[in-house]
Structure 1
Amino acid sequence: MREDFLHLLETIKHIKSTDEAVRLLLLRINTPLINEAIEFAIKAHQGQKRKSGEDYVIHPILVATITSYFSDDENVITAAILHDVVEDTNYTIYYIKDKFGENVANLVEGLTKIVEIRQSSLVPSTSNEKLTKSAMTFRKMLLASIADIRVLVIKLCDRLHNMLTLDALPPHKQKRIAEETLVVYTPIAHRLGISTLKNCLEDLAFKYLLPEEYKKIDVYLKKHKEEFRLRLNEFTQKIQKLLLKEGLKDFEVKSRIKHYYSIFLKMQRKGISIEEILDLLAVRIIVNEPIECYESLGVIHLNFRPLISRFKDYIAIPKENGYQTLHTTVYDGNSIIEVQIRTFDMDKNAEFGIAAHWKYKLNTALPNVKWLEDMKFDEDIEDFYELAKNDLFSEDIVVYSPKFETFTLPRGATALDFAYMIHTDIGNKAIGAYINKEKATLLTTLKTGDIVRIVTGNEVIPRCSWIESLKTSKAKYEQKKLCRQKEKEINKKLALAILKGIFDINEIKLRALIKANYLCDSISKIVEDKNFLKDVVKRLYKTMRKRNLLYFKNINIKEHEFGNIRILTNKQISDISFNYCCHPKFGDKILGLLKKREVEIHHRFCNNAEKKIDKAVFVEWIRNTQNRYFLVVTLQNKKGELAKFISFLSRLGIFIHSINLGKESNNCKMEIEFDSKEFNNIKQKIANEYNIIEFISTKDAYNG
């Protein structure tokens, strides 16, 4: 990270007055428009205070100061100064437009939070209003960024200043803001290629989310600071002499210790302590021309033994965010040091990302911002927020089409995710895949370097039970859309089968009865709503009596319970069975096929069941608030790790019924209990800290 930027942040942290904030900003950029914006912001925010007790206007002025590091455009810096005016004062966006112009107003509008939810937003009544507002504001900001990506750069600078001043807030708010920063905003900084912001935001979020882990790394690095500096200086001098000897003259060699959060991630991925990390140290060689990068690489590899598995060429194949650098790792005596090699333009591009193309005229790859356009903005608002976070907060892999086009996907992505990246039609009609010329299923997990070919058919195929296995929001969204349509068709068919099972009449007569009672549009509701089913049965029965169609007496609907399944029917039911063709799990949508006095349970989207639907019964899961689950996780083979994990679960409000440690592995199997409404939240929190092997309800049909 650049020393001048760190120095700027240190200065910002110690500013406590409006006058100091104004002086610092005007030292960086001083124009009539900037002065006018400062005066207006001071007037607009007059009397407002931050939680720390400081004048509120200090915040937007310092956000503008950080923004000025990444952009010299006075409209962008003006928008940063004014970014909270519309949200926190009585001035409207129309006033901003009249006074400062359309360009500034559009940026401010994109950064203004949604304070009130309007009825036209069609927010579900079950939504958490605070979460919904956050999600809608986030979506609004991303939509504005499609038109002008500068909105995101200002927002990242705003978030950075908020993180620098987080001490003024209570611990629960610190953690919430830090988590959002790590999950949403650092990935955005990464996708825009702005490593300077990304690394700062990561380390600040890490400090608040995991203070003990942060402190351990901090203590270790400070304790060994001199030792590391000596090793880096020694290695740097060797490189400089070697490069000069080979005729390279105009170059720089910088050295650094890796930043805290990247060290922590390495510890987590490898299950090791900081003392066991071999490559904490890194140097960067910066040259004039791309060809000199490869010449420098040759010098390094001829004089230091490389770890070939760690070599990456991002110059020939840039990352999606425009990043271009050669990466290699070499032995230097007892040390292992990472070496990065790039040109001066590539260095600016790596540090400033998309902002580098505003500050400098660079001949480097631009970040690909197609991920913004690919987001499914018409999805339900809370689903959109979760899908967006899922897409953003994931490590990337790079795979290739047979024509060697590159595609960046989240780690864990499947061949079907890749198919949707190519085109929606290819994803919808995919029937198989070839990975590295070998036949593979569409759910095969891809890895970096795979060459993937998708085989398509003629029909669109909904794969409703696969949605949770997909990783990209695009694939999930498109499959959900197909499945919603398929579900409508199945529910209509199933509704007729349920009524057929109750009344024992043919479909032609049944349809006539439904039409006579004006139920054609709503009949499929009986599949989900047992009270509506009872009401429909009464209405149809009444019509049948009028038409003298009754040749039986018993239409008394009764409830039958078998384990965690409830059945509604007027028939005698002796037993239920689960069909193993589709493996329905507790909570999945299901259907029940009537077979004399038995009911066969299938997943609602089971292809075999759809073909066999004739007579059916209403079925549903019996839900209790407190549910038991089987949880299997991998623990590190370290003293105290189990105690630490038990303590972690207790803090989440989880009751532990039993623990079983694997003898041949580090797997720990537990039976646990908690409020089922918290399942997704708890699963995510455990997944953030531990590798989950299995996490299923004990009520699943196949666990007894």
Structure 2
Amino acid sequence: MDFLKKVREITSPNKAIELLYSMVEEVPSIQNAIAFATQAHQGQVRKSGEPYIVHPLLVSCIVTYFGGDEEMVCAALLHDVVEDTPYTLEEVKRDYGADVASLVDGLTKIVAIRAEELPSSYSSEKLVVAALSFRKMLITSVKDVRVLVVKLCDRLHNMLTLDALASNKQKRIAEETLVVYAPIAHRLGISSLKNELEDRSFYYIFPQEYKKIDDYFSRHKQMIQLKLNAFIQKVEKSLIQGGIPVGDFSITSRIKRHYSIYLKMQRKGISIDEVLDLLAIRVIVKNPLECYRALGILHLKYKPIMSRFKDYIALPKENGYQTIHSTLFDDSAIFEVQIRTEDMHKSAEYGIAAHWKYKTGGNNNAPSLEWLNKLQFQNNSVEEFYELVKNDLYREDIVVFSPDGDNYSLPIGAVVLDFAYAVHTEVGSRAKEAYVNNQKTSLLTRLKSGDIVKIVTASENILRCSWADAVKTSRAKSQIRNNCASRIKEIERKSAINIIATIFGKSAEEIERYLIESDLEDMAYRATTDISFLKDIKNRIENNYRQNIGFLTRIKTRILKLKELRFDNLAIYTNHTINQAVFDYCCHPKFGDGIIAFKNGSKAFVHHKLCDRAYLEIQKGVKMLYVNWFGDKLQTYKLIVALENQKGVLANFLQFLAKMDINVLSVELGSQKSNYATHCEMCFESHIRDTKEIKAKLGNRYKIIDVYALKDAYAN
């Protein structure tokens, strides 16, 4: 982008001011903001050695380029002033108005993560840091999305000047940019900004991979340009012959961006020559009807790959993107053709900023900001929040329909249950049957664009705790986890009451009354998983009842002492005689699953904590026992990794896993194979029980496509 090249070359305040005034009117507010920011940052220098004031000046230029209004330009100029000087927000409000003050306040709240404060790239803490920044940005922008746009422009200028920092800091800042800033730019529909952030991050994070792609284009530059020029001439001739006048359309060429190429190579395990949309042209016409006319002309002339056809004009993406995509064969070469109007082009390049940048015209499909208001910021840890929301922010969409014709945008890979939750939380929680295109199917059937989905609901919620990893959207994942957390809390609370009642030989109702009166009810659930807590609460009840002569007259103190009984890898604590522990036939819990135990005579019947049959028994207040696993629990994982298709690579990888004390259970190699890479899928066991830690350790050495824990296997 020529503009960014110009920005990158500027190192003096005068040149920066000259560029800014070539883009905006010299109104008093901007003049005053420049003068004040220059004074406030007097004597400050950046790592590159240039005066610090150059940074806010050039950020304001980038903000202007992406359509920023007068208030956004002033906020960009002042965005570091409140944090770095005694100047207050009240003074900003007095001098520049409430709008500018609000934007500066938002930018100040997104506390910049200094390079020296970032954890090591090899540290699992980096996700926490990224997630914190991610959540702060989104919370702050709920009131005014312009805050996000200014902050993204600020980060883009930082990326343009990143070469002034040490290599370890370059990588850390680039990582944060890739996982925090680029996804937000994507969700706002600002593709030109997103592309720049991605490619510049890619350059610093994976320099060798970036160089390979860059070298490929250097070697094939002439051939690529000849191919594109020849195809453009053919398309131009076809459109004219089809009746579209020369002045009513324009055609430009496009080469896929470096990071997009890299992602496709990794996801599909292919070489750069196998990337189908590597070369593309863009046809811009006068109006939407002409888009379809151009499409018809080209489809009659060239063979389309229909599986790759996408009509985002009829069904726009949630970020407002509208274009027809079609991939065509021409003389053994393959080209992607994008067809759009001028307004659609502006919206595609500048997203939400197009509605400030181009004051006239524009289409009605502005990027929806409803997603910002729907985010549940307070219910999860920052890491959980990031993991849940990132798929919704940064995704390719499919569009599916309800039987009534309502359309829903979902991420690629979404299943029927994701659709049900998109319709309504209650529909998702009560979904029992599904029909896709009038065919009965599983709720975990993967959907594709154009599917018509019908959901049949039950009268009550259906618990599906193990399905949280099978759904794709944050809404479905979050609701499934919340439903299960509520059910587990209820089960543990009632089980704790039953266990304590069994110890004392009292009714569940009497124990529950005591816990309520003693303000212990909210903590009681811990007695099912924490033996120390159970013993403590038993002693408190025992001491309390000692004062009640009527209670212990028939019970000797020694009878209340809990003994540990072991049966294989089970530990049961009880004051009763238990001779045998049996896994009941209905739920088959596996080692490490959450479990509960019922007392029947001298036998303990062990169930999965989420067993339906067990749930009904718990409600009856039956006799229960404290049970838990003992021994070192292993976590099972599913891993998909891209390995180079070379001799000895798999052997080295398995040796690396062995050094990490990982036990490989199964390996499937070559499910997606090319001359470049092979996708290897495997299941393994590890003492490490944190997925993020596993991902961090493996990701430092290998290209991880996906890794997730095969958690509690029980499903209703």
2:319 corresponds to: 321
Are 2:284 and 2:340, in contact at CA under 8 Å, matched by a contact in 1?
A: yes
| Counterparts of 1:245 and 1:664, CA distance in 2 | 47
| Counterparts of 2:655 and 2:177, CA distance in 1 | 22
Give the 3 Å change call, closer, same or farther, for CA 148–588 of structure 1 in structure 2.
farther
| Counterparts of 1:277 and 1:114, CA distance in 2 | 38
- State the shift of 1:412 in Å: 2.7
- State the shift of 1:101 in Å: 0.7
Matched ranges for 1:421-570 at <5 A: 421-511=422-512, 514=515, 519-545=520-546, 546-547=549-550, 548-551=552-555, 553-561=558-566, 565-570=570-575
| Counterparts of 1:561 and 1:179, CA distance in 2 | 49
1:27 counterpart (22, 40, 46):
22
1:618 corresponds to: 626
| Counterparts of 1:642 and 1:448, CA distance in 2 | 37
Unaligned runs of 5+ in 2: 114-123, 672-678
SS in 1 for 2:525: helix
- State the shift of 1:217 in Å: 0.8
2:224 counterpart (222, 228, 237):
228
- State the shift of 1:490 in Å: 1.9
SS in 2 for 1:338: strand
| Counterparts of 2:112 and 2:238, CA distance in 1 | 63
- State the shift of 1:570 in Å: 2.6
1:174 corresponds to: 170
1:188 corresponds to: 184
1:571 corresponds to: 576
Give the 3 Å change call, closer, same or farther, for CA 273–144 of structure 1 in structure 2.
same
- State the shift of 1:413 in Å: 2.5
SS in 1 for 2:455: strand
1:8 corresponds to: 3
Give the 3 Å change call, closer, same or farther, for CA 105–245 of structure 1 in structure 2.
same
Matched ranges for 1:245-324 at <5 A: 245-247=241-243, 248-250=245-247, 251-324=249-322
Are 2:643 and 2:703, in contact at CA under 8 Å, matched by a contact in 1?
A: no
Give the 3 Å change call, closer, same or farther, for CA 221–647 of structure 1 in structure 2.
farther
Aligned residue identity for 2:397: D
| Counterparts of 1:46 and 1:647, CA distance in 2 | 57
1:155 counterpart (134, 148, 151):
151
| Counterparts of 2:318 and 2:713, CA distance in 1 | 44
Give the 3 Å change call, closer, same or farther, for CA 533–675 of structure 1 in structure 2.
same
| Counterparts of 2:166 and 2:685, CA distance in 1 | 31
Are 1:281 and 1:336, in contact at CA under 8 Å, matched by a contact in 2?
A: yes
Aligned residue identity for 2:575: N
Are 1:374 and 1:474, in contact at CA under 8 Å, matched by a contact in 2?
A: no
SS in 1 for 2:440: strand
- State the shift of 1:73 in Å: 1.3
CA deviations 1:446-492 (Å, max 9, x no partner) are 23222112222333444434333333222333344434443343222
SS in 2 for 1:434: strand
1:88 corresponds to: 84
SS in 2 for 1:608: helix
2:120 corresponds to: none
1:107 corresponds to: 103
CA deviations 1:169-196 (Å, max 9, x no partner) are 3444433332332233222222222111
- State the shift of 1:684 in Å: 7.3
- State the shift of 1:229 in Å: 0.6
Aligned residue identity for 2:625: V
SS in 1 for 2:201: helix
The alignment status of 1:654 with 2:660, answered yes or no, reads: yes
- State the shift of 1:159 in Å: 1.8
| Counterparts of 1:608 and 1:615, CA distance in 2 | 15
- State the shift of 1:12 in Å: 1.7
SS in 1 for 2:497: helix
SS in 1 for 2:246: coil
Q: CA RMSD in A?
A: 3.4
- State the shift of 1:84 in Å: 2.1
Are 1:578 and 1:602, in contact at CA under 8 Å, matched by a contact in 2?
A: yes
The alignment status of 1:607 with 2:612, answered yes or no, reads: yes
CA deviations 1:67-122 (Å, max 9, x no partner) are 111115111111111222223333222221111111111111222235599xxxxx
| Counterparts of 2:265 and 2:139, CA distance in 1 | 37
Give the 3 Å change call, closer, same or farther, for CA 580–691 of structure 1 in structure 2.
farther
1:377 corresponds to: 377
SS in 2 for 1:468: coil
| Counterparts of 1:657 and 1:374, CA distance in 2 | 41
| Counterparts of 1:400 and 1:668, CA distance in 2 | 33
Aligned residue identity for 1:682: I
**Worse-matched range after superposition: 54-63 or 129-138:** 129-138
CA deviations 1:559-610 (Å, max 9, x no partner) are 3455655433233445545456556566654323334444444333332211
| Counterparts of 2:394 and 2:376, CA distance in 1 | 16
Give the 3 Å change call, closer, same or farther, for CA 557–636 of structure 1 in structure 2.
same
2:694 corresponds to: 682
Give the 3 Å change call, closer, same or farther, for CA 208–544 of structure 1 in structure 2.
same
| Counterparts of 1:300 and 1:152, CA distance in 2 | 39
CA deviations 1:231-270 (Å, max 9, x no partner) are 1111111222222333322211101211111211221232
Aligned residue identity for 1:638: N
SS in 2 for 1:16: coil
1:593 counterpart (585, 593, 598):
598
Aligned residue identity for 2:37: A
Aligned residue identity for 2:266: Q
Are 2:142 and 2:372, in contact at CA under 8 Å, matched by a contact in 1?
A: yes
SS in 1 for 2:343: helix
| Counterparts of 2:644 and 2:136, CA distance in 1 | 46
Aligned residue identity for 1:310: R
| Counterparts of 1:62 and 1:590, CA distance in 2 | 60
Are 1:375 and 1:473, in contact at CA under 8 Å, matched by a contact in 2?
A: no
Query: What's the TM-score, normalizing by structure 2?
Result: 0.86
| Counterparts of 1:443 and 1:81, CA distance in 2 | 50
Unaligned runs of 5+ in 1: 1-5, 118-127
Are 1:286 and 1:341, in contact at CA under 8 Å, matched by a contact in 2?
A: yes
2:118 corresponds to: none
CA deviations 1:135-192 (Å, max 9, x no partner) are 5554343234333221221122122112222233344443333233223322222222
Aligned residue identity for 1:163: M
Aligned residue identity for 1:646: F
Aligned residue identity for 2:645: K
Q: Which has the higher contact order (CA 8 A, sep 6+)?
A: 2
Matched ranges for 1:347-358 at <5 A: 347-358=345-356
Aligned residue identity for 1:591: I
1:633 counterpart (629, 640, 645):
640
| Counterparts of 1:500 and 1:144, CA distance in 2 | 50
* Identity %, equivalent residues: 47
CA deviations 1:370-401 (Å, max 9, x no partner) are 21121112323413333222432333322211
